[in-house]
Amino acid sequence: MAQYRRIGVTNNNDVAIVSFNDKKILDEASIQELGAELFGLVEQHNMGDILLNFTNVEFLSSAALGKLITLDRKVKASKGRMKMCNIRPEIFEVFQITKLNKVFDIRKDEAEAMTAFS
Amino acid sequence: MTESQSPQNTSSDKSSWQKSIDLPSERGASRLIMDELLDKLGEHGWASADIFSIHLAAEEAIVNAIVHGNKLSADKKVHVECFVSPTVARIEITDEGDGFKPNEVPDCTQDDRLEVPNGRGVMLIHNFMTRVEYNEKGNHVLMEKVQDA
């Protein structure tokens, strides 16, 4: 089992549920580390589904958006599905402005996301 | 050390706060001003959603100045001037780089660019701030948010 510093991972019906340890995702070094952990998870959890739960996240920068876009592409390439949930309104607005709400499958909470996976 | 030689210059009265600071061109240097800026926005009664917007715009612009403007050069500084009152938040950022043309940054919301991982900072700044102006060279940005009356 991999050790993570930036994320927490639990498994629910073959969906890897990811939570974030940082409230603010903006520091370049942390974002690099976060990206490496998320990409590693996709490789390890090949062909699987991933749910990113943003409950803990109060702020994220455009560099973090870049990692999420790359992650989404990697998950799709490995025939998995990626969804996001519990995104606070300010961050959802960032997704709307950048139109990433069209790219990402964004759900209200874990229950709604899990239903959508099944 | 006289006031003019100081790298930091702060003034504050009850109704407004201002500060200027030179940041080194290192990743993460925005933290040298950001926490204080966020505290002052809160103290001047700005709502948390507005503080989020200003935080994001300032962070993106400072990172752009450090990374794209000064190219992380150790002998270049990023000069930041902040002004906060209950109705106006203004941040001016100047780097020592060659400048850029904001209208030549590709539109990241076009379908064929939606999945390109970078290039969203400038667009977020424009959406979150009331007024954004660059100098002709493109190495100085003034951004201002005005509280709705």
**Dihedrals phi, psi of B91, to nearest 5 degrees:** -130, 130
Angle at A81 between CA A73 and CA A26, to 5 degrees: 55
**Do the domain assignments include residue B107?**
yes
Interface contact flag, B60 A61, Cβ < 8 Å: yes
Q: Beta strand B17-24 with B77-84: parallel, antiparallel or unpaired?
A: antiparallel
Interface contact flag, B116 A69, Cβ < 8 Å: yes
Residue A1: band (very low, low, confident or very high) from pLDDT cuts 50, 70, 90: low
Nearest CA distance, B45 vs chain A (angstrom): 18
Q: Is the pLDDT of residue A62 over 70?
A: yes
Q: Nearest chain A Cα to B111, which residue?
A: A99
> Residue B87's domain is classified under what CATH number?
3.30.565.10
- Measured in whole angstroms, the distance separating CA B54 from the mean position of its chain's CA atoms is 8
**A7-117 topology per CATH:** Transcription Regulator spoIIAA (3.30.750)
> pLDDT per residue over A73-111, tens digit each?
999 999 999 999 999 999 999 999 999 999 999 999 999
**Do the domain assignments include residue B77?**
yes
> pLDDT per residue over B71-111, tens digit each?
999 999 999 999 999 999 999 999 999 999 988 889 989 88
**Do the domain assignments include residue B1?**
no
* Residues of B whose CB is below 8 A from A102: 114
Q: Nearest chain A Cα to B47, which residue?
A: A90
* Residues of A whose CB is below 8 A from B115: 69, 72-73, 103
Decide: A38 and A53 in contact? Cβ < 8 Å. no
ipTM of the complex, rounded to two decimals: 0.89
Domain boundaries, chain A: 7-117
Measured on CA atoms in the order B124, B130, B135, B141, is the torsion positive or negative? negative
